[in-house]
Every structure is written in structure tokens, then in C-alpha cells.
Amino acid sequence: MPKSVRIVGEKITMDLLLWREHGPQGLDLLVEALEMNPGKLDAYLPSGQTVLIPDLPTQTVREKKIITLFD
């Protein structure tokens, strides 16, 4: 579920906001975030404005088969 975030401060960009929320993986969500917030393509988001931040996709955990040479 997308998260609503209120911009506090100056010179906050969408990619910076995604980095702060999700770390380096958040940058992969930039296109999705811009689609969720039409009309907010400015370089800097105005203070006081509310934007939607998408969630990171869930990652599936795969089991790895471990081979031991010495039993």
C-alpha cells in the first residue's frame, strides 16, 4: 500500500525521498512514484506538499541447496 508523505524542508526531490524511505532499492521505484503523483515533475518538491511513495515489491526467498564435500 502506498505511503503518504508530507514534504518538510527545502530542495527535496522525489529520488531523494525514495532513497530516504527505501534505501538504494528505492531508486528503482522512481518511475512508479512519478506516475502515482501526476503534475509533480518539478526538480524540487515544495515544502508542505503531500506525495505518495510506492512500497518496495515483496521479494521471494529461494532455498539454496548446499553441497558439502566433507561429511
The 10s digit of each residue's pLDDT in 31-50 is 999 999 987 767 788 899 89
pLDDT of 19 over the 90 cut: yes
Q: Residue 58's pLDDT is what?
A: 78
Distance, CA of 36 to CA of 40 (rounded, Å): 9
Let me know: does 19 contact 71? Beta carbons within 8 Å: no
Return the bridge partners of 5, or none.
Answer: 51
